[in-house]
Amino acid sequence: MKKCLMIGLILLFAGGLLFAGGKQEKEELDYSSMSWDEIVSAAKEEGEVTFYSWWGEEWWKTAMTDFSKKYGIKGKVIMAEGTATMNKILAEKDKAVGTIDAVLIGGNRVKTGIDAGIFYGPIINMIPHGDKLDPKLATLQEGVRTGGYLVPIYRNQTGLLYDPQRVSNPPHTWNELVAWIKANPKQFAYCNPDKGGSGQAFVQTVIGYLTGGLDKYAGDTELDPAKVANWNLAWDWLNEVEEDTVITASNNESIDRLNQGEVSLIVAWDDDVLVNLKKGTLFKRAKLYIPNMGFPGGGDTAGVLKNAPHKAASLLFIAYLTEADNQIRMNETIGSYLARTDIKGKQALLPESERQKNGVIWIPAPYKAHFKAEFVKNVMMK
């Protein structure tokens, strides 16, 4: 009996060692030195991939289903709030093998993620067509240098959305906007910059116009206190018009309030507008434009985690998302603009010329973080 037990234990131990050894070997695969074909076959071997996103479920699920059919790789798309996903990633950071493979990344999570070094890479040159993706977004996202770790998936743009039945002459310049807000009290809405990019777009525009332009912040990686010293001018103005404006709690809530007829002019993302139009939660007559004064736009990227259990399959899925056909389908499904610059999408609420002419880039991340916090203190608490 004892002998049996001993043999059993030894076998178990040996098995464990073998298993651990085998696992280690698998981890040491270096995808950067592999050819794309080798990565594809490695991906098929892995046979599984998990992708996290916080919006646009219609597209990611469709894409994943088709991806699974094409390669025979089981795919899972999980829709979750960006912050919750980032917290999970950070909690799993030190594990050898995590549970998340690839994530869509945007907003302040870009800085958090890059700073914490959670991404595998650089990967942008591993995937085919990596060089055809928007070079601006491929180097700088939300003012953060992404160093090839993050792959652009789509671009999007903020603008002003209005109800043409009630607004005949939408404002185009800063002075026109100021005058419009004063002339139409409680008809202009923007979202709390802490809760959505469309609100950040508006606050950034206000800061740009009232404190001497946005050029001086370009390229900064740390906050320069001297440059924000006169931001009180922006806060004073926002306070002055606070009674005449409506502040909402999310990008979509602004659109909802327009649909309800509560307001007639709002700041919105182009892709959010398209999704709401498609769902029947925004009237079809709504019109979107980028005012001549300029409104920021950017885009979101995807990255593979350092401890992803299925790295090759993640790379393959990200590559799949950047294929020409799929970029066009994505654009038709959720309205986000293509990250590829060599092809054109059909579905666009905003013409390319308007994007080029009036779209501006985001202020660097430390300044954005600063104005989000200062907005609470100087506008909402007043």
Partner 1 sequence: MEQKLVPYYRIVEKRQRTLRGIMVVFFIVVQIVWIGLPMLMAVFWSLVNPDHPWSYPQVFPSHLSLAQWDYVFKFTNIIRALGTSYSIAPLATIFTFLLALPTAYVLGRRRFQGREAIKILILLPIIMPGMVTALFLSRVFSFIGLDQNFFGLVLAHSLMGMPYMLRILTTSFEAIPQDIIDAAENLGATSFVKFKEIFIPMVLPGLFAGTIFTFITSLEEFSLTFVIGTPTFETIPTILFSFLGYHFIRTNAAVVSLILMIPNIAMLFVAERFLKTEYLAAAFGKM
Partner 2 sequence: MPTKNRLSTLLLLLPGAGFIFLFLAAAIFMTVLQSLGFFSLTQESRFTFDYWRNLFDRQVIDSFLFSLKVGVGSSFGTLLFSYPLALFMRKKFFGRKPLGSMLKIPLFVPALVAAFLIINLIAYHGMLNHILMALGIIKEPLRMLRDKFGWVVLFIQIWKNLPFQLLIISASLETIQTDIEDAARNLGANKLALVRYIIFPLSIPGILVAVILVFIKTFGDFAITSVAGPIYPVSISVRMYAAANMFQEWNRAAGIGVVIIVTALLFVWLYSRLAKMMQGQK
Among 26, 186, 216, 344, binds partner 2 (CB under 8 A): 186
Q: What would the DSSP string read from start to end of 224-263? A: -GGGGTTTHHHHHHHHHTGGGEEEESSHHHHHHHHHTTS-
58 touches partner 1 by CB under 8 A: yes
Residue 87 · residue 101 · CB < 8 Å: no
7 touches partner 2 by CB under 8 A: no
Strands 265-269 and 48-53: unpaired
Least Cβ distance, residue 195 to partner 2 (angstroms): 8
Among 44, 74, 88, 132, binds partner 1 (CB under 8 A): 88
Instruction: Give residue 107's region: left, alpha or beta (phi > 0; psi -120 to 50).
Output: left
Strands 48-53 and 151-162: unpaired
Read off the DSSP letter of residue 119. B
Q: Which does 79 bind (CB under 5 to 8 A by kind): partner 1, partner 2, none?
A: partner 1
With H, G, I as helix, E, B as strand and everything else as coil, classify residue 340: strand
Among 283, 329, 370, 378, binds partner 1 (CB under 8 A): 283
Among 68, 211, 259, 341, binds partner 1 (CB under 8 A): 259
Q: What would the DSSP string read from start to end of 99-128? A: S--EEEE-TTHHHHHHHHT-B----TTTST
- Reference 106, options 198, 244, 190, 5; nearest CA is 198
With H, G, I as helix, E, B as strand and everything else as coil, classify residue 166: coil
Residue 259 phi/psi, 5° resolution?
A: -65, -35
Interface pattern 253-272 for partner 2 (x via CB under 8 A): ----x--xxx----------
What is the residue whose two structure tokens read 């990227």? 301
Residue 73 · residue 85 · CB < 8 Å: no
Among 139, 250, 341, 378, binds partner 1 (CB under 8 A): 250
With H, G, I as helix, E, B as strand and everything else as coil, classify residue 174: helix
Among 7, 9, 20, 249, binds partner 2 (CB under 8 A): 249
Site for partner 1 in 162-191 (CB under 8 A): 163
Residue 233 phi/psi, 5° resolution?
A: -60, -40
Among 200, 205, 248, 252, binds partner 2 (CB under 8 A): 248
What is the residue whose two structure tokens read 């479920």? 57
Is the Cβ of residue 5 or residue 381 nearer to partner 2 in the bound state? Answer: 381
Is the Cβ of residue 83 or residue 221 nearer to partner 2 in the bound state? Answer: 83
Among 17, 84, 183, 218, binds partner 2 (CB under 8 A): 84
106 touches partner 1 by CB under 8 A: no
Among 171, 196, 291, 298, binds partner 1 (CB under 8 A): 196
Is the Cβ of residue 17 or residue 91 nearer to partner 1 in the bound state? Answer: 91
200 touches partner 2 by CB under 8 A: no
Residue 204 · residue 363 · CB < 8 Å: yes
Least Cβ distance, residue 256 to partner 1 (angstroms): 6
Q: Which does 343 bind (CB under 5 to 8 A by kind): partner 1, partner 2, none?
A: none
Site of interaction with partner 1 (CB under 8 A): 52, 54-55, 57-58, 61-62, 78-81, 84-85, 88, 91, 99, 163, 195-196, 249-250, 252-253, 256, 259-261, 276-284
